[in-house]
Structure 1
Amino acid sequence: MLTHRASARLLARTSLLAAAAFTLAQPAFAQDAAEQAAEEGIGTEIIVTAQKRAQSLSDVSLSVSAVSTETLAANNTVTLEGLQTLVPSISFGNDFNFAKLFIRGIGLSSSLPGVDPSVALHVDGVVVSLAQAQLGSMFDLERVEVLRGPQGTLYGRNATGGAVNLITAKPSDTLEGYVRQTLGGDALLIQTDAAIGGPIAEGVRGRLAVQRIKRDGYGVNEFTGNEIDNANQWSGRAHLEFLPSDSVNILLTGEYHREDDRSLAIKFREVSFPGVLNDNIAANDGLSALGQRLNADGSQARFATNPRNVATNFDPINDREQWALTAAITVDASDAVSIKSLTSYRSFDAIFFHDFDMSTYLGYPLAQTNALRSSANHWQPVFQHQFSQELQANVDTDKFHGVFGLFYLDEQIEVENHIGLDVLTNTDPFRVQFDGRLDVKTWAAFANLTYDLSDQFSVKAGARYSWEERRLRNQAGLGSAALNRLVLDPMQWDATKSWDDFSPSLGFEFRPNDDLMLYGNWSRGFKSGTAEIGSTRKLSATQPLPFVDPEKVEAFEVGSKYSAGALSANLAVFFQRLKNGQFSLTRAIPTPPFFTSTLTNAAVSEAYGAEFDVLWRPSREFTLNASVGYLHSEFTKFSASDPLDPRLFAPGAVEADLIKDLSGNATRMSPKWSLNLNPTYSVGMNNGGEVQFGSNFSYRSKQFHTEFNDDRMAQDGYIQLDANIRYKHSDGHFSANAWVRNITNELVYAGSFAVSTSRAIGGTLMPPRTYGITLGYDF
């Protein structure tokens, strides 16, 4: 295990060697590439707004990847999970209907309402604060930008791991649009995408885009016979742009997304312990054991026969609706100064349901008269709305470039948790109900400055001051069908806490020639403290308030950006140290035996690694996108008890005696290696049309889903292969694209967690092999 100082020395040495090697190796190849590109009339420049101003990707002194809409469409990538096959050092997980993005080993490590993501998601500059609201479809995009490493200065709270920006397609000066119809199988997919935009009147432009996805399920509930992990979605977006003068731009946007299906189902698989008898056998039928899985007739429940199936008496429910209204007003005060106001309101309303008891037992009288059994069904309505306001001033002179800003967010989240409890025979079944409301108010002031000391050397400095207040009101109690909601000895509390933070950054840029930039950055990031909505942790006035401390990260990064003609290549080497990482731990309670989730702070974790990506277009016919990432992320100080340790349920067990030192263990969702290769080759047809052959090779090494590094709760290394063949007619209007994702049908778990004393693991799966054809008409 490396110490902080040793890691920093390793970073410095590796960075110098990498930068020197890259600088020395590039001149001859660069000259050839540039000359060839000039002759072919091609280039690799990509414009991004990662630093809240338009820049060429090669001029952004950060580790940034940009994914074009053409790349997303090639294999019908419509969700965030697809980004991990295109971008290094990013991992995607989901469970309990939460999106869990990880960048460089930092991400959302909790499925408890009220805990914010550690990777910020923005749509056209507006933050999507709720993790459950980040699972919507990506459609009608111009590009996706992925920023790796803490982005505390410009993006503020909840960007300790990095940020993902979705940039939507905007109205243009000419009438344009498209209609695309997709038909796919094995699970029948019918998908329609359409957009139209252009001038409406003098100084007024608009764009309207819609998407409809209807797909059969990837699995089946073997008890009900209904499909699960299906899709039934509607999405729409409208832009209305006003140009009252050459210096004023007003963009009004409305968005809507609706889902009503049985997606994101949690699957169960059995685990075993050395020396512990497996209870999933017929010989155990009729035995009265607390937590044993039973069917309605008292027989022993079995796991589903297919890992993509479930066998429960209730189907999962994923019923969500979200919408947003945004106003972006930009005024060019002078040639060097522009002012931007970004005002947005977002609303999210959902009902989720999961059946956790792994049986067809309804929770009513059993055949046996002395049975005490578990009926764990989780019904969760969630409502969230947020109002955000950001003011930006962009200053761009010959030598000075700066972004100054103010930010305000007012957010409210309301959650109900209805969970079935153990049931006594011939009695009315009880349930436990945890209700809560979280009110968040935050504001920040920030600045990000670059000054050119010469044509070759620039210095950077940034800072953000943030203040955040959270008020949490919870109530919990027991209820029953007969008594509706009888609150027995209710647990209620109302608590408020606030935090403030100063996150600075420093850096430099050095350009030894027109094609190469070397850079270095030091930065800090901050995610505010919080508490669980519906928590039962504060059961009396003598217990401490259930807030966890803020999550903070400090990072160092050096890198290089090279762009000349047909070739662009980017290298980044980094070291980061996370303090007080917010983790949701599954704790075992021996008496009576059950599991509960508790939000806590992991003491310290450290990570170092490197990323290299290249875009090469040696000819009009051939393009290669490639990237590789190496990540070593581990805890340096953290202790906890393992919920899958069978000793926790031994007679007289004391959890405190089984605490494990997790120092040296890998952090969650942190594969050491990530590799992506995306070559495309185009062939001209005699009729003037074009056929493009594309493929994508993606590799992720082993990653653990918990801090205990248990192989039973991990995803082994895997390769995902995608391919497509696209035909485009000579008139530029008609196109046909045949695609297939996950060709080898890899079974990949997006997340895992301990379920109950039934010795079972719950988890969600990435999609299986999918394929289809998309017919399009562009105008």
Structure 2
Amino acid sequence: MSQITRSSVRRAAVLSVSVLALAALPSVAMAQTAAADTAKDDGEIVVTAQKREQSLSDVSVSVSAVTADKLASTNTAGIEALQNLVPSISFGNDFNFAKLFIRGIGLSSSLPGVDPSVALYVDGAVVSLAQAQLGSLFDLERVEVLRGPQGTLYGRNATGGAVNLITAKPTEETRGYARLTVGGPQLNLIGEAAIGGKIAEGVLGRFAVRAIRRDGYGINEVTGNDIDNARQLSMRAHLEFKPTETVDILLTGEYHREDDRALAIKFREVSFPGVLTDANPANDGLSALGQRTNLDGSQARFSTNPRNLATNFDPINNRTQYAFTGAITVEASDAVTLKSLTSYRKFDAIFFQDFDMSTYLGYALAQTGPIRSSANHWQPVFENQFSQELQGNVDTDRFHGVFGLFYLDERINAENHIGLDVLTNTDPFRIQFDGSLYVKTWAAYANVSYELSDQFTIKAGGRYSWEKRRLVNNTGIGDGPTGFLLDSVRLGIPMWDVAKSWRDFSPSLGLEYRPTDGVLIYANWSRGFKSGTAEIGSTRRTSLTQPLPFVDPEKVEAYEIGLKFNGATFDANVAAFFQTLKNGQFSLTRPIPAPPFFTSTLTNAARSEAYGVEVEMRWRPTQAFTLDGSVAYLHSTFTNFRASDPLDARLFAPGADPNALLKDLSGNSTRMSPRWSVNLNPSYRIEAGNGGSVTLASNFAYRSKQYHTEFNDDRLAQEGYIQLDANILYTHPGDRFTANLWVKNLTNELVYAGSFSISTSRAIGGTLMPPRTYGVTLGYKF
């Protein structure tokens, strides 16, 4: 009872501070309005977060926008760097999956089949697969990040939030740019260019390309080859037709290719330290593979540097994705716009890594006799998705409405093989988690607002979703006497070939109040929904009566109050929120009595709640100096969660009962949920005598401690860190030529983007954010 009371007091305190901030800012607004307009920024940021063009300060939702100039000056090339520019967003990465978290809600599974909790869109078309979210950011107009449940404005469900990449579109005038980056200490070459303009009467086009070639951030100490290098090529083409003044047809083609040795998990430490030196020989089987002796008598070892590997094979990261999108916009009248958005996306990836993260060559189990087995991991994923969205926008003096229909058809085929030789499939003892998932989704949504007066506006929205998923599994485990067998052969029962569907209605309500020009106060309530599903290949069927492998939908309910102020020299956005998550979808590792002595199970294991405050501001006291900044406080914890910890050695004792070793995780922090996030980006422009300018800028990013596991184990966590970036930008007279000298992660912080306890190798691994990098970027635009 006392814990509940303290929690309630903390929430009340945070919300009280928020209300005081909301009350105080209007007085600041009046003071700022009286200030001189000489320092007002000429470049107002316009967003389409609510499906119509609005000033960022006039949107009554939590949305941040990162402009193309900001992306270029900070040398932001991938989605992982957004966490240094936007509050309350965290980026994780393991097993080739992008794991975006917003306000403590994100993807915890590392097997295909589970939807991301944070949706990613390119010009409104969803990128459904988490692995496909790791593409390059290039030739963008801006990036919009919406925090909180999304479903009444976008086609796809999202319980955590949404990231929308707005690409640069064709223009009537011929425009373009070219940029070349040369960096070190790893030789880093980035070439990027775009050109667009009028092709013929009523026909516009634009083509953009980016190529990245970078040496590795580390090496494989066994092979001597670079790892975490980059070999990427991205292209995008727009073709826009304007047959009449009221009809616009935009055709887009995208291509992205990677072929390098990136994203493999690096060794952090062994899972069960001390088992080889204690007095109980029965515990020796819990030693990490990298602690054991090879058959040739050599001692296995791990890497000597956290950015290196010491593995018998180099990792493979081979990904190709392309997309075709058609957007047809018809202005039916001055108030009504109709839009059709059709998209097809294909994603193919082959990912391989040495799971034991060591020089171990393989071992013989009692079940396999002389046959050796090891923990090499092979994971090809092939996905096709087709989506169709029909949208109607109504925009009158007082009524604004968005009405949409959405359809998604997706197929994911995945393999997960673990064994000694998974590249040629000659190892008779290995683990196979293969299967396919077929997804069909229909949805109807609406979001409307009505201006009761010049000061008051009411909003309402709703989304009806129908989702159906069919799982076809093809799992199995090999043994010594008979070689590899599928479960269907071993058990004499059919594999999973089952389907299930879900329905949901998620409403939203809101209120806007504008006490004076430049001040918006709002309150929102919304519910979000993420479909029930199953991980591909994760569940072994052991009997005909075993329950279906599907988990129930994940649902969130969110409350938010906020204030946005747009003044002469100072802009500020403040949001306070409280949200509850029910039936959180978590992937948990649990022991089993037969080889490989573990399995992964997706389960509705958790309830959590989060509350916090986010403050974004921009201060420009003079034309020369600008300070952008944000501060976010997040308290995100489990309120009901019981599970057995896969790093509890007692689970692997003979006859152990996992149900007797359940831990109460209530009060533990959710994954990727730093309590404090701070971003500061000051810049100062110095006018040069020749008419050009030099801009000095830096970026300060702080994240407090965040856990990569719901068990809040310090061994799978990232301690609080500060990351400093800086750049000096020279702009030639006429703004055509630029030279940007930059450095990122100035103090060379070692930051883990994700951590994972690998059961097959009894070791803990992690993926790392880039080390210190620096270089110069030369640009020319026309």
For the aligned pair, the TM-score class normalised by the smaller chain equals over 0.9
- Counterpart residue number, 2:705: 702
1:408 aligns with 2:407: yes
Q: CA deviation at 1:493?
A: 1.8
Q: 1:296 to 1:170 in 2, by over 3 A?
A: farther
Which amino acid in structure 2 is aligned with residue 164 of structure 1?
V
- Counterpart residue number, 1:269: 268
- Counterpart residue number, 2:92: 93
- Counterpart residue number, 1:351: 350
Q: 1:7 to 1:247 in 2, by over 3 A?
A: farther
Structure-2 separation of matches of 1:17 and 1:583: 37
Q: 1:7 to 1:494 in 2, by over 3 A?
A: farther
- Counterpart residue number, 2:616: 613
Of 374-383 and 268-277, more deviation after overlay is shown by: 268-277
- Cα RMSD (Å): 2.6
Which amino acid in structure 2 is aligned with residue 744 of structure 1?
T
Q: CA deviation at 1:26?
A: 3.2
Choose which of 583, 586, 603 in structure 2 pairs with 1:600. 603
Q: CA deviation at 1:44?
A: 5.7
1:501 partner SS: strand
Structure-2 separation of matches of 1:642 and 1:434: 22
CA contact (8 A) 1:372 1:422 kept: no
Structure-1 separation of matches of 2:601 and 2:328: 43
Structure-1 separation of matches of 2:56 and 2:435: 44
Structure-2 separation of matches of 1:290 and 1:27: 64
Q: 1:494 to 1:193 in 2, by over 3 A?
A: same
Q: How does 1:336-735 map to 2 (within 5 A)?
A: 336-363=335-362, 374-420=373-419, 429-478=428-477, 487=486, 488-489=489-490, 492-589=495-592, 594-735=597-738
Which amino acid in structure 2 is aligned with residue 601 of structure 1?
N
CA contact (8 A) 1:156 1:466 kept: no
Which amino acid in structure 1 is aligned with residue 467 of structure 2?
E
- Residues 118-137 of structure 1 show CA distances to partners (whole Å, capped at 9, x for unaligned) of 00000000000000000010
1:755 aligns with 2:755: no
Structure-2 separation of matches of 1:212 and 1:668: 33
Q: CA deviation at 1:53?
A: 1.4
Identity %: 71
Which amino acid in structure 1 is aligned with residue 647 of structure 2?
L
Q: 1:428 to 1:389 in 2, by over 3 A?
A: closer
CA contact (8 A) 1:437 1:472 kept: yes
Q: CA deviation at 1:69?
A: 1.0
- Counterpart residue number, 1:200: 199
1:214 aligns with 2:217: no
TM-score normalised per structure 1: 0.94
- Counterpart residue number, 2:30: 27
Which amino acid in structure 2 is aligned with residue 639 of structure 1?
R
Q: CA deviation at 1:2?
A: 4.2
Q: CA deviation at 1:92?
A: 0.1
- Residues 367-426 of structure 1 show CA distances to partners (whole Å, capped at 9, x for unaligned) of xx9888650111111110111011111101111010011011000101112211799xxx
Q: CA deviation at 1:546?
A: 0.5
1:656 partner SS: helix
Of 595-604 and 52-61, more deviation after overlay is shown by: 595-604
Q: How does 1:131-142 map to 2 (within 5 A)?
A: 131-142=130-141
Q: CA deviation at 1:589?
A: 3.6
Q: 1:97 to 1:278 in 2, by over 3 A?
A: farther
- Residues 507-554 of structure 1 show CA distances to partners (whole Å, capped at 9, x for unaligned) of 000000011010000000000000011133333211000001100000
Q: How does 1:161-310 map to 2 (within 5 A)?
A: 161-271=160-270, 276-277=275-276, 293-295=292-294, 297-310=296-309
Q: CA deviation at 1:60?
A: 0.6
- Counterpart residue number, 1:144: 143
CA contact (8 A) 1:463 1:505 kept: yes
Q: How does 1:99-114 map to 2 (within 5 A)?
A: 99-114=98-113
Structure-2 separation of matches of 1:266 and 1:730: 47
Report how many residues are paired: 766
1:242 partner SS: strand
CA contact (8 A) 1:44 1:568 kept: no
CA contact (8 A) 2:415 2:433 kept: yes
Structure-1 separation of matches of 2:642 and 2:428: 37
Which amino acid in structure 2 is aligned with residue 725 of structure 1?
I
Structure-1 separation of matches of 2:749 and 2:573: 30
Structure-1 separation of matches of 2:418 and 2:478: 10
Q: 1:379 to 1:591 in 2, by over 3 A?
A: closer
Q: CA deviation at 1:654?
A: 1.8
- 5+ residue gaps, structure 1, are none
Which amino acid in structure 2 is aligned with residue 751 of structure 1?
G
Which amino acid in structure 2 is aligned with residue 65 of structure 1?
S
Which amino acid in structure 1 is aligned with residue 602 of structure 2?
L
Q: 1:225 to 1:59 in 2, by over 3 A?
A: same
Q: CA deviation at 1:459?
A: 0.3
Which amino acid in structure 2 is aligned with residue 332 of structure 1?
E
2:34 partner SS: helix
- Counterpart residue number, 1:737: 740
Q: CA deviation at 1:484?
A: 9.5
Q: CA deviation at 1:586?
A: 2.2
Structure-1 separation of matches of 2:697 and 2:20: 34
Of 376-385 and 16-25, more deviation after overlay is shown by: 16-25
Q: 1:648 to 1:26 in 2, by over 3 A?
A: same
- Residues 536-594 of structure 1 show CA distances to partners (whole Å, capped at 9, x for unaligned) of 33332110000011000000000001002232110000000000111111223466674
Q: 1:507 to 1:297 in 2, by over 3 A?
A: same
Q: 1:183 to 1:444 in 2, by over 3 A?
A: same
Structure-1 separation of matches of 2:521 and 2:596: 57
Which amino acid in structure 2 is aligned with residue 154 of structure 1?
L
Which amino acid in structure 2 is aligned with residue 300 of structure 1?
Q
Of 348-357 and 152-161, more deviation after overlay is shown by: 152-161
Which amino acid in structure 2 is aligned with residue 309 of structure 1?
N
CA contact (8 A) 1:272 1:278 kept: no
Q: CA deviation at 1:12?
A: 5.2
Q: CA deviation at 1:73?
A: 1.1
Which amino acid in structure 1 is aligned with residue 344 of structure 2?
Y
Q: How does 1:16-95 map to 2 (within 5 A)?
A: 16-32=19-35, 35=36, 38-40=37-39, 42-43=41-42, 45-95=44-94
- Residues 208-235 of structure 1 show CA distances to partners (whole Å, capped at 9, x for unaligned) of 0000000000111111111110000000
Q: 1:428 to 1:385 in 2, by over 3 A?
A: closer
CA contact (8 A) 1:638 1:662 kept: yes
Structure-2 separation of matches of 1:518 and 1:480: 65
CA contact (8 A) 2:29 2:518 kept: no
Structure-2 separation of matches of 1:473 and 1:174: 52
Structure-2 separation of matches of 1:592 and 1:345: 41
Structure-1 separation of matches of 2:564 and 2:458: 16
CA contact (8 A) 1:247 1:332 kept: yes
Structure-1 separation of matches of 2:251 and 2:315: 36
Q: CA deviation at 1:612?
A: 0.2
- Counterpart residue number, 1:159: 158
Structure-1 separation of matches of 2:668 and 2:452: 44
CA contact (8 A) 1:290 1:372 kept: no
1:513 partner SS: coil
- Residues 422-444 of structure 1 show CA distances to partners (whole Å, capped at 9, x for unaligned) of 99xxx964222222111100011
